[in-house]
Structure 1
Amino acid sequence: MPRSHKRRPQRPGDDSFDRLLAGWKRTESRRGADWTVQPVSAAQAVKDYTCPGCGRVVATGTAHIVAWRADGVLGDSADLAARRHWHEHCWRIS
């Protein structure tokens, strides 16, 4: 039987190479607190957000940083729900 050359739909657990490269989480200490920081590539940025550092829009298609408290007292789910999208420059100078 001949092989099909159709692309298989991507399953929820499958990650592209770009997503893996952009998705490296790290922990940083800033302003006396620990923060989980995850880069978002331009390809992954599909919504507009307001940067808490400068108050301007992080536009769709712009690589940026997502940060949330790593040591919050309300637990991981509350910390993750309170995450914020920052311009890379704004995060570096904060």
Structure 2
Amino acid sequence: MPRSSSSRRSNKWQRERRELSTGFATRRRVDDASDGQWIVQEVSGNGSGKTYTCPGCNQTLTASVPHTVAWREEAGYGISIGPGARRHWHTSCFRSRRR
């Protein structure tokens, strides 16, 4: 039996951007470095099955591995980019990035 279109989940790209849950806020910190101010959050592994590409080493990073999520407080030219630009890093790659 075909599903009705009303029972389908909306496309995540069409949904409004949501704020990170409040549980994460307690583990969030600001990292001031020579490459700017970063909002940093340590993430424990989960079973979502997602994979990311670490911007530090360009290797695959699975969501099941504890890692760091970070984004710059402000982009160049003063344009705030916030959580929409968050990236998933291996924790060691984030710590050893150029400062």
TM above 0.5, one fold?
yes
1:81 to partner: Cα distance: 0.9
C-alpha RMSD of the superposition: 2.5
| Letter aligned with residue 26 of structure 1 | R
Q: Which residues of 2 match residues 69-84 of structure 1 at below 5 A?
A: 69-72=72-75, 73-75=78-80, 78-84=81-87
| Letter aligned with residue 40 of structure 2 | V
User: Are 1:39 and 2:75 counterparts?
Assistant: no
Extract unaligned runs of 5+ from structure 2.
Answer: 1-20
User: Are 1:68 and 2:71 counterparts?
Assistant: yes
* 2: CA distance, partners of 1:32 / 1:26: 16
Q: Which residues of 2 match residues 1-94 of structure 1 at below 5 A?
A: 20=23, 24-43=27-46, 46-72=49-75, 73-75=78-80, 78-94=81-97
The TM-score with structure 1 as length reference comes to 0.66
How many residues align? The count is: 75
The TM-score with structure 2 as length reference comes to 0.63
Extract unaligned runs of 5+ from structure 1.
Answer: 1-14
* 2: CA distance, partners of 1:88 / 1:62: 10
